[in-house]
Amino acid sequence: MKTRLTWLLILMLALSAFWGCSDDDDDPITPPAATAFETMAAAGAAYINDSAQCPGVLAAATLHDNLDLYTVIDIRQEQHYLEGHIPGAYRSSLSTLIADLANIPNDKPYVVACYTGQSAGHAKVAMEMLGYGDVYSLLFGMSAWNTSLDNWTANCQDNLAVAETDNNNGDLTDQTMPTLTEDVGTVVAERTAAMLAAGFKGKNYNDIVDDLDLYFVINYFGEADYEGTGEAGVPGHIPAAFQYTPYASMGIDEMLPNIPSDMPVIVYCWTGQHSSQVTAYLNMLGYEAYSLKFGSNNLFYDDLEAHKWSVDAQNDFDLEMGYPATETFTTIATALLDYVNDSEDCPGVMSAVSLNDNLTSYTVIDIRQLEAYDAGHIDGAYHSSIATLKADVEGGTIPDNKPFVVACYTGQSAGHAKIALEMMGYDDTKSLLFGMSAWNTSLDNWTANCQNNLTTVETDNNNEDLVWNPYPTLEGETLDGRVATMLTDGFKAKTFADIEDYLDSYFIINYFGEADYLGEGDAGVPGHITGAYQFTPYASLDIDEMLGNIPHDVPVVVYCWTGQHSSQITAYLNMLGYEAYSLKFGSNGLFYDDLDAHKWSVSAQNDFPLIPTPVLVAGF
């Protein structure tokens, strides 16, 4: 929610109050013009020194119980976001935050989530500087949301072997402060953007322990704890560190002038949540500053009595996988999935014998090329094509008073037509099993393609390597429109020979059960194509299943036993915006001799009648 006053206005009010007015109206005192540094310092200090706003952390349990009241922004790396995030969270990063905010709703307070709550501090202070009020960072980050994401426990250590208790502040001197060259009117926005572009600035204690004299170290908690006499159990501080009291030390008229601009600065607090924001502020001012990762929890964890990470902060709240799908994508995927995951309807094939015995009960649509249809087709069959199917059926060229049976050469391209007809509302559509190859032996396109092309099979289960990917973006489209696009694009298929030398360039889906995929099933399958992933039929293609594991920036190949089923899955994926292809002839074109089931054989062939299209003779 963008509610905070502009920092330039705050600065003007502050300077006005500082300089006051002359009692002599004839000789008014004109306040000096603020420099860019003074403007940035006043803007940042107004936030950093506000205990009600900074660090502004929110516990995971509080967020979970009020999730609908907040907009969550997750700034972790994309793959970690995809592997599990807070339901409904928007994905961003420090470098893209400003641009992303334009596309993230601003009607609720924000919560920024990172791994441990530390880098989120950079994002929070940036949003505050840009005028977004009511911003929180998730306390302890995603480590507190779900135990599977714990990045804290391993980093709670006792790395500070010798703590110092002397107060070094007596050695502080005034230093030359940085010079900022930005325009006064834009310095806050420009320096905020520069800080975000530079990314999270943090260091581990072990990174600096051997070179402490090269750093200006700021201990950012109270004096008693700094000296080891407080109630938090702290034994002291990092040797040579200076004590800066929170909310009372970071202004120009406080201790900011004591920080050197010609050496790196380390800021540490209890957990790194607060020091991250102070560090971001210092970098906006032109210092080279770093937050000490995990703060005191990484220095003297066992001694701490407060401000301490513990398993009590952990939860096992739900995680949402992948990117949230767009409303359009979700609607279309759900409509398609009602069919794809229905084993009664999909693939919905009919044998040639069953069709021949009940021919008068069906309307047959033959989608082979016109020349093949004219040479001989099933009695009463109507000719169409994948490209013209929608127009032919909806335009009345093909009557719809009976259930449809779609016939092609081998039963494979008919799958594209069948799922399209189902989505158009023509329930009880069938595709002819093995196509016209099974109707009449003279049309056999199967036997020559039953081969053993897969010379090397893999039996490893590759599913452990699956990662989450963004879903394709379908905005403003309809199911009817996606059906039309898929049909216009035509049958999408490849032979194994097409992909054999380029397997690494494809995401390959093995669409049958795990046992057969591993070469341990009853169908005689020795394994799978190298690199293929196993997707269980009827249980793997929903948004909350494995659909999010399929990349939309890599071509997808789907294979099943005969290509009848994979054709429909391929069409489904293409309607959702993927670039998908069905592997022609499926396993029958990979390891035919090994198959004990789902296998083309001459027993599937028949010699049912073929009706040629009459040739019209001129004059008759």
Q: Which of 516, 496, 504 is nearest to 582 (CA)?
A: 496
Tell me the pLDDT tens digit for each residue of 102-119.
999 999 999 999 999 999
Angstrom CA distances, 400 to 30, 332, 362, 364, stand at 88, 24, 10, 10
Tell me the pLDDT tens digit for each residue of 509-545.
999 999 999 999 999 999 999 999 999 999 999 988 8
Asked whether 140 and 271 are in contact (CB, 8 A), the reply is yes
Provide the pLDDT confidence category of residue 133 given band limits of 50, 70 and 90.
Answer: confident
How many Å is the Cα radius of gyration of the chain? Answer: 34
pLDDT score for 357: 98
Provide the pLDDT confidence category of residue 324 given band limits of 50, 70 and 90.
Answer: confident
Asked whether 175 and 282 are in contact (CB, 8 A), the reply is no
Q: 179-193, 197-211, 517-531, 602-616: lowest mean pLDDT where?
A: 602-616
Provide the pLDDT confidence category of residue 322 given band limits of 50, 70 and 90.
Answer: confident
Name all domains of the chain by residue range, CATH numbers in brackets: 7-149 (3.40.250.10), 153-313 (3.40.250.10), 327-604 (3.40.250.10)
Contacts of 520 (CB under 8 A, 6+ apart): none
Q: From CA 113, how far away is CA 103, in angstroms rounded?
A: 18
SS3 319: coil
- Residue ranges of E strands in 345-503: 349-350, 363-366, 382-383, 404-407, 430-432, 493-494
Q: From CA 398, how far away is CA 365, in angstroms rounded?
A: 8
pLDDT score for 225: 97
- Tally of residues, the chain: 620
Question: Amino acid letter at 379?
Answer: D
To the nearest whole percent, how much of the chain has pLDDT over 90?
A: 89
Provide the pLDDT confidence category of residue 617 given band limits of 50, 70 and 90.
Answer: low
Residue 42 has pLDDT above 70, yes or no: yes
Q: Which of 227, 58, 244, 84 is nearest to 150 (CA)?
A: 84
Asked whether 145 and 13 are in contact (CB, 8 A), the reply is no
Provide the pLDDT confidence category of residue 470 given band limits of 50, 70 and 90.
Answer: confident
Q: What is the mean pLDDT of the chain?
A: 93
The first and second tokens of residue 226, run together, are 């700094």
Q: From CA 145, how far away is CA 158, in angstroms rounded?
A: 25
Question: Amino acid letter at 476?
Answer: G
Asked whether 272 and 55 are in contact (CB, 8 A), the reply is no
Stretch 424-452: mean pLDDT: 97
Q: From CA 553, how far away is CA 472, in angstroms rounded?
A: 9
Angstrom CA distances, 16 to 6, 41, 45, 200, 554, stand at 16, 16, 17, 35, 61
pLDDT score for 618: 57
pLDDT score for 90: 95
Residue 583 has pLDDT above 70, yes or no: yes
Give me the residue label for tokens 């990172």.
114
Stretch 467-478: mean pLDDT: 90
Asked whether 435 and 411 are in contact (CB, 8 A), the reply is yes
Provide the pLDDT confidence category of residue 31 given band limits of 50, 70 and 90.
Answer: very low
Provide the pLDDT confidence category of residue 20 given band limits of 50, 70 and 90.
Answer: very low
Q: Is 114 a catalytic residue?
A: yes
The neighbour count for residue 21, using CB atoms within 10 Å, is: 10
Stretch 459-480: mean pLDDT: 92
Q: From CA 83, how far away is CA 269, in angstroms rounded?
A: 31
Tell me the pLDDT tens digit for each residue of 223-253.
999 999 999 999 999 999 999 999 999 999 9
Residue 137 has pLDDT above 50, yes or no: yes
> CA geometry: angle at 410 spanning 406 and 415, to 5°?
45
pLDDT score for 325: 85
- The DSSP result for 555-616, as a single string, is -EEEE-SSSHHHHHHHHHHHHTT--EEEETTGGGGTSGGG-SSS---GGG--B---BPPPPP
Angstrom CA distances, 118 to 104, 131, 152, stand at 22, 21, 11
Q: From CA 307, how far away is CA 232, in angstroms rounded?
A: 8
pLDDT score for 305: 95
Residue 51 has pLDDT above 80, yes or no: yes
- Residue ranges of E strands in 504-570: 507-510, 533-534, 556-559
Provide the phi-psi class of 117: left if phi over 0, else alpha when psi is between -120 and 50, else beta: left
User: What would the 3-class secondary structure string for 31-72 be?
Assistant: CCCCCHHHHHHHHHHHHHCCCCCCCCEECHHHHHHCHHHCEE
Contacts of 65 (CB under 8 A, 6+ apart): none
- Residue ranges of E strands in 417-531: 430-432, 493-494, 507-510
The first and second tokens of residue 478, run together, are 């309809």
Q: From CA 152, how far away is CA 115, in angstroms rounded?
A: 9
Q: 253-267, 326-340, 346-360: lowest mean pLDDT where?
A: 326-340
564-575 helix and 479-489 helix, angle to the nearest 10 degrees: 120
pLDDT score for 369: 98
Q: From CA 407, how far away is CA 386, in angstroms rounded?
A: 11
Asked whether 274 and 124 are in contact (CB, 8 A), the reply is no
Asked whether 270 and 291 are in contact (CB, 8 A), the reply is no
Question: Amino acid letter at 336?
Answer: L
The neighbour count for residue 131, using CB atoms within 10 Å, is: 15
Tell me the pLDDT tens digit for each residue of 274-285.
999 999 999 999
Q: Which pTM was predicted?
A: 0.72
187-198 helix and 36-48 helix, angle to the nearest 10 degrees: 70
Residue 27 has pLDDT above 80, yes or no: no
> CA geometry: angle at 73 spanning 68 and 77, to 5°?
140
Residue 19 has pLDDT above 80, yes or no: no
Residue 28 has pLDDT above 80, yes or no: no
**Which residue among 54, 114, 346, 560 is the active-site one?**
114
pLDDT score for 326: 86
